[in-house]
Amino acid sequence: MTDLGDGTRCVHAGLPEPAPGDPFLPGPVFAAPYHLDPWQGQGSSPNGYGRPDNPTRRLLEAAIGELEGGDCRVFATGQAAITGLLLAVLRPGDTVLLPADGYFPVRAFATDVLETIGVRVVFVPTAGPYPSLEGVRLVLVETPANPGLDVVDVAALAESAHAAGALLAVDNTTATPLGQRPLDLGADLVVASGTKALTGHSDLLLGYLASRSADLVGAVTSWRTATGSVPGAFDSWLAHRSMATLDLRLARQSANAAAIADLLAGRTDVTGLRWPGLPDDPAYPVASTQMRRMPGVLSFDLGDADRVARFITAARLVAAATSFGGTHTSADRRAQWGDDTSPGFVRLSCGVEDTADLVADIAAALDAAGPA
């Protein structure tokens, strides 16, 4: 369906062939064991046991795979997907490059687990500069980075990685497959949290990995089967159902982020504004070329923790929450989670509220919050 528009692809991705009397998207199949043939066992049936086999999960994987342009495997959470990738690919003695400004739990996992099993971990800022990649097994980047929103040139980095014999994996959580398709840019793997904008309703946990390499998909599939880090049937069904509106949600979220960025850029009581869609943002030159649409997430600094709390309390349309990408606008003071950010740093995730309402509410809340 690559010849169709984003909205059309989202609505139809992963749906089975229509049959009279059947729903557009079949309901979730709840099964641990399935009936087996008494003589042949599982035989030619794709279903034997619920951990590796579930038809609801396969439909979701087909849908995400169509959007990302690769073979997909879904996991219970985004963290399960990314740690599964790292443990399936890396061995003692390998070197991995991870983003110094990326998702904090991934960095913690690297130092708490990977280093203890003999993997050499090197942290590099998303925007670089990158060291020599000779002897590196895997480069993992998050672009735009969470929460700082820096961007890296995926095609250029893929070329450098492959020249050195390294694999490149891209965390596509913030952008989503409608914002960019890393596999088309040369990446070997895509990994993401489907908890956030992909499903977008703040009501389920999900992760996924996609690749065009049968060997890499096979290794990750074996890891997932052995560890059991699969999503449940109902979460898989909810995720697939929610993806139909992805194009519509992202369009409003991106438009809201652009309007809020313009508002904040004109205020003297806000510093450190980052959004890749702003022409004067450091990430803009790469993002405007590489990305198909800008994310609905931006970041800025309000000076200190108390002012952040006053701002969120005064806002009628902004909720305090730590995830992002949902239909409701939310703000997260990242320092409270141990992230390496200043006390007043805020990641704002724009929801799908009317743009004029959201701009007015945030402006009034900043006024009510007073100075830092």
User: Pick the catalytic residue: 51, 58, 267, 293?
Assistant: 51
> Which residues make Cβ contacts (< 8 Å) with residue 299, sequence separation at least 6?
147, 148, 149, 272, 273, 274, 275, 345, 346, 347, 348
Q: Tell me if residue 196 is catalytic.
A: yes
Measured CA to CA, the distance from residue 220 to residue 74 in angstroms comes to: 10
Measured CA to CA, the distance from residue 233 to residue 224 in angstroms comes to: 16
287 in Cβ contact with 151 (< 8 Å)? yes
Q: Taking the chain, what is the end-to-end CA distance rounded to the nearest angstrom?
A: 51
The string of DSSP codes covering 356-368 is: HHHHHHHHHHHHH
Q: Which amino acid is at 30?
A: F
Phi/psi of residue 215, nearest 5 degrees: -65, -45
User: Pick the catalytic residue: 73, 196, 334, 347?
Assistant: 196
User: Prior bond to 147 cis, omega within 30?
Assistant: yes
User: Pick the catalytic residue: 71, 94, 103, 235?
Assistant: 103
Measured CA to CA, the distance from residue 114 to residue 293 in angstroms comes to: 34
81 in Cβ contact with 207 (< 8 Å)? yes
Number of C-beta neighbours around residue 333 at 10 A: 24
Q: What letter does residue 334 receive in the DSSP assignment?
A: G
Q: Which residue has the tokens 């034997």?
A: 48
User: Pick the catalytic residue: 153, 171, 235, 281?
Assistant: 171
Q: Tell me if residue 103 is catalytic.
A: yes
What are the counts of helices (DSSP H) followed by strands (DSSP E) for the chain? 11, 12
Q: Tell me if residue 208 is catalytic.
A: no
Q: Tell me if residue 215 is catalytic.
A: no
Annotated active-site positions, please? 51, 103, 171, 196
